[in-house]
Structure 1
Amino acid sequence: MPGSPDSTADQAVEELVEQRRGKLHPAVARTREAVRTTLSELPHGTTVLVACSGGTDSLALAAATAFEAPKLGLRAGAVIVDHDLQPDSAHVAETAAKQCRTLGLDPVRVWTVTVGTEGGPEGAARTARYDALRDAADELGADVVLLAHTRDDQAETVLLGLGRGSGARSLAGMASAVGRVRRPFLEVRRATTAAACIASGLRPWHDPHNDDPQYTRVRVRHEVLPVLEEALGPGVVEALARTAGLLRADADALDQLAADVAETALSRAESEVRGEVGVLTDEPTAIRTRVLRQAALEAGCRATDLTAGHVAAVDALVTDWRGQRWIDLPQGVRAIRQGGFIILGPNVTG
């Protein structure tokens, strides 16, 4: 039966034999193993899409998925998002699509997007990309979208969150699975994906933006991490990724506790969300602020714009009430305290 534990174990044994005979490069074996682990729990007939830019990581992911998916009884395709930010972006996207088709992925689609300005260059591109991946999955009937973020990307994400002074959720980095998204390579180093491409005869595209120091992530990658490795010794990437995993478990537990409190503390009416001060006051800060953040999101704030400072100001309406009028939040949402409630919404007045 495709995808059964026995068939997965048989594949692993076959690859080990090939590797010992010198036929299978260790990096190729590692990428395939990571993908097989991610896909092995999916039902027979599931459609998966690889988000492929044509770069080293995503091309290695495309190759590993093209090899593993059919063995597990899955249908595998690819979507290439063309951000249209460079003169030759259409050519780059089509080249990536051709490589995906050569690997045997089907369907393969190029999705051209218009990148806005909100959230800065990196944030706007990310928003456009994820919207495109969602639309492509809907149109192509995909149940799972695979992203090629590596262990190095995870370490960079933790450092970026630390530099912004973000909370535990941001420092927890990227999840291996959320909704339709899966990240098989979060335990794989970037050097491994590069070696897998070379061993497989693939020709990745190098995005010049990955060397442009105007982007914060690029500076973290090429300037901050090397300094940390030099000062603290090797293993910084692994340590940061491990920290993300530990924080993610804690954040998940706190989020669940907060969700339970929200069921009691929050009520919704039209465009307003109300939080009961008496209930919120009794909760620890870590729970209460999570509930208030959720209330602000439900009232219309965007997660990318809602800062810890905003949440702290709303929290002061609960814990440090001195007759404040209201708190202005993103997207025109206001928070005000009235009659034992914190009221959040776009039309709230004092």
Structure 2
Amino acid sequence: MLQDALASAGYPERILVACSGGPDSLALASVAAYFARRGHVHGRPVSVAAVVVDHQLQEGSAEVAARTVAILEGLGLSPVQLRTVEVAATGFGPEAAARDARHAALEAAATELDCGAILLGHTLDDQAEQVLLGLARGSGTRSLAGMRPARGKLLRPFLGLRRAETLEICEVEELETWHDPSNADPAFARSRTRVEVMPLLEDKLGPGVAESLARTAAILQQDADFLEHLAAESYAGLVNRSDDGVWLPEDRLRELSPALRFRVIAKAAADVGGQQPGYGRLQAVEGLLRRQGSAGPVQLPGSVSVYRVSLSELERGAAAGGTAVPREGGGCGKLVFRHQRSPQQ
């Protein structure tokens, strides 16, 4: 599995293993250490470094991190970095905030150590839980597609491996593993899914539920990639730029299928500095296209405003050096996206 992951990344000569001290990432570190001792993968030279990220969210986290560093050094990985991060509060929950802080630390370590890939220990069980959470939240194709085996420098070689198998690897290698208490904390939806929901599904529906969910993710990844490609092409052909935003022609946008139209709208929001809109916000923008209610604005996450104006209004606003004001009327034919920046910006 690791060989295939490195092959897909072009066989980087130096790789970085992210390790928490848990069985999944320790098993991955152990496998990577085997190839580090050999000095090559499929005849291609390779060396392996490691990084341990201390999120400082639990009592005793520093001790766990230090012990994990010692284990990784004992496996022969070099160098092994310990990075301590501050997890800032965000509007997306503690798990997302911790993930953002961790990924920033991993990227910084990879850059400093000149590593072409970062290995993460997510397993098939993690993938199944991700898909199930996406279903429960009513998410779209991209979310249900789960975690990618490769995204930029991030590689997940163990997505086809069960969690029980990583435990077996650690037992065979006699590695002392740490079990994160938050993984069993019912305060987190992911923990409840792992401890309560997945075992119930396996009991009531029979074995193989996790594999089926992971297979669903693999299928949907292909669908999501195809739709993303079509949406990128459509957006490139529709977008028009102004000094303070972008606009899309209403008639041509309306001609797109809903699956593409929603994605194109999301791309316009991202293009001016916004965040991924939820389904409800996308429907609100759809209402502008259907000319339901006012001409806007509709507020999207990340301080983005969307409204309809006519081409003549846009031209008058540009000629006057100002911003056109949306109004009702049959002449409205453009969907405008602007970022509402703070005064000091």
* Stretches of structure 1 lacking an aligned partner (at least 5 in a row): 1-33
Structure 1, 65-74 or 333-342: larger mean CA deviation: 65-74
CA distance 1:270–1:134, shift in 2 (3 Å): farther
Pair 1:103 & 2:69 matched: no
SS class of match (2:217): helix
Match of 1:191 among 147, 164, 167: 164
Q: Partner residue of 2:308?
A: 337
Q: CA deviation at 1:136?
A: 1.4
Alignment of 1:262-281 (within 5 A): 262-281=235-254
Supply the distance in 1 between the matched residues of 2:27 and 2:217 (Cα, whole angstroms).
24
Counterpart amino acid of residue 279 in structure 2: A
Task: Tell me the CA shift for residue 176 of structure 1.
Answer: 0.3
1:342 partner amino acid: L
SS at structure 2 position matched to 1:331: coil
Question: How far apart, CA to CA, are the structure 1 residues paired with 2:79 and 2:248?
Answer: 47
Partners of 1:235 and 1:326 lie apart in 2 by 48
Asked whether the 8 Å contact 2:12–2:117 carries over to 1, the reply is no
Report the number of matched residues: 313
- 1:184 partner SS: coil
**CA 280–235 in structure 1, closer or farther in 2 if over 3 Å, else same:** same
Shift of the 43–178 alpha-carbon distance from structure 1 to 2, 3 Å rule, reads closer
Distance 2:291 2:138 in 1: 23
- Give runs of aligned pairs for residues 42-191 of structure 1, distance below 5 A: 43=10, 46-69=13-36, 70-72=39-41, 73-118=45-90, 119-191=92-164
Note closer, same or farther for the CA distance 1:145–1:284 as it changes in structure 2 (3 Å cut).
same
Kindly provide the amino acid, as one letter, of the partner of residue 341 in structure 1: K
Cα distance between partner residues in 2 of 1:301 and 1:78:
34
1:58-90 Cα shifts (integer Å, max 9, x gaps)? 000001011124222112111111101112111
The range that moved more, 176-185 or 328-337, is 328-337
Q: Which residue of 1 aligns with 2:324?
A: none
CA shift, 1:45, in A, is 5.9
CA distance in 1, matches of 2:173, 2:202: 30
Q: How far apart, in 2, do the equivalents of 1:295 and 1:42 lie?
A: 30
CA distance in 2, matches of 1:209, 1:180: 27
What's the counterpart of residue 27 of structure 1?
Answer: none
Q: For 1:229 and 1:319, locate their aligned partners in 2 and report how far apart those are by CA, in whole Å.
A: 45
Preserved CA contact (<8 Å) 2:12 2:116: no
Cα distance between partner residues in 2 of 1:280 and 1:101: 56
Give, in whole Å, the separation in 2 of the partners of 1:86 and 1:322.
50
Is the contact made by 1:292 and 1:315 (CA closer than 8 Å) also made in structure 2? no
Instruction: Give the CA deviation at 1:172.
Output: 0.5
* Distance in structure 1 (CA, Å) of the matches to 2:7 and 2:226: 26
Task: Show CA shifts across 1:24-46 (max 9, x none).
Answer: xxxxxxxxxx1122124555662
Q: Which has the higher helix share?
A: 1
Q: What residue number does 1:326 align with?
A: 297
* Pair 229,323 (structure 1): closer, same or farther in 2 beyond 3 Å: same
**1:299-314 to 2 correspondence within 5 Å?**
299-303=272-276, 306-314=277-285
**Deviations 1:241-300 (CA, angstroms, capped at 9, x unpaired):** 001111111111011000000011112334412112122111100001001011111222
Paired amino acid for 2:75: L
- Structure 2's unaligned 5+ residue stretches are 311-332
SS of alignment partner, residue 78 of structure 1? strand
Is 2:259 the partner of 1:286?
yes
Counterparts of 2:241 and 2:194, CA distance in 1: 44
- What amino acid sits opposite 2:254 in the alignment? T
* Pairwise CA distance, 1:308: 1.7
Letter of the structure 2 residue corresponding to residue 314 of structure 1: V
* AA aligned opposite 1:346: H
CA contact (8 A) 1:35 1:68 kept: no
- TM-score, normalised via structure 1 length: 0.86
Supply the RMSD in Å over aligned alpha carbons.
1.5
Letter in 2 for 1:312: Q
For the residue of structure 1 that corresponds to 2:226, the secondary structure is helix
In the aligned structure 2, how far is the partner of 1:282 from the partner of 1:246? 27
Moved more, 236-245 or 317-326: 317-326
Q: Deviations over 1:130-180 (max 9, x none)?
A: 111111112221110011100000000001101110001100101001111
The 3 A distance-change label for structure 1 pair 323 and 221 is same
Compute the displacement of 1:320 (Å). Answer: 4.1
